[in-house]
Amino acid sequence: MSGPVFVDTNVFVYARDASEPRKQARASAWLRPLWEMRLGRTSMQVLSEFYVTVTRKLQPGLPAEEAWDDVTALMSWEPQPIDEALMHRGREVEHRYRLSWWDSLIVGAAQLQGCELILTEDLQDGGVYGDVTARSPFTLSLNEDVASYAVSRMPLSGHPPRGRPKRAVV
């Protein structure tokens, strides 16, 4: 990994969910190097969802103090706040890619933080959203080069555009 990686709620939840041992091991294996290399990124939205999910929806749930310790530790990842810039970016993403509002905020937060990769189960595995690619941590190998998922720009076509030519402005 060479650039920042955005981590979605479900990856953090699986890292704490003992009822899914295979996914727990895989999520933890992804989080470990992100901590060590200081490449992990997330958002305040994700931290909020994480806290609610692990304290109220997991069976058995985490004690609130333990979940809060996790959230406090993840504050060092400088989570993207829900601010005006993210709201505008989320709206652009929603309109362009036809994602749900909440997924649009995730993609927007990753874009604003300069991430090439979003680790999530909630978006299409391999889906490309501008300069960001969504991958499932349960299908993507830790050894794969993240840079290979960076978007490569297509060269401009040598063919003339279709349709009527645009009028020159006088």
- Report the chain's mean pLDDT, rounded to a whole number: 89
Give a yes or no: residue 114 inside a domain.
yes
| Contact status, residue 106 vs residue 134, Cβ threshold 8 Å | no
Q: Give per-residue pLDDT as tens, 114-145.
A: 999 999 999 999 999 999 999 999 998 877 65
Distance CA 81, CA 94 (A): 18
- For residues 132 and 114, the answer to whether their CB atoms sit within 8 Å is no
In a domain? residue 134? yes
Which residue has tokens 């200081």?
A: 38
Domain tally for the chain?
1
Query: Which CATH number covers residue 56?
Result: 3.40.50.1010
Range of the domain at 130: 5-149
What is the amino acid identity at position 76?
A: S
What are the average pLDDT values for consecutive 10-residue runs of the chain, which has 170 residues?
Answer: 92 95 96 96 98 94 96 97 98 97 98 97 96 95 59 47 53
pTM score of the predicted model: 0.83
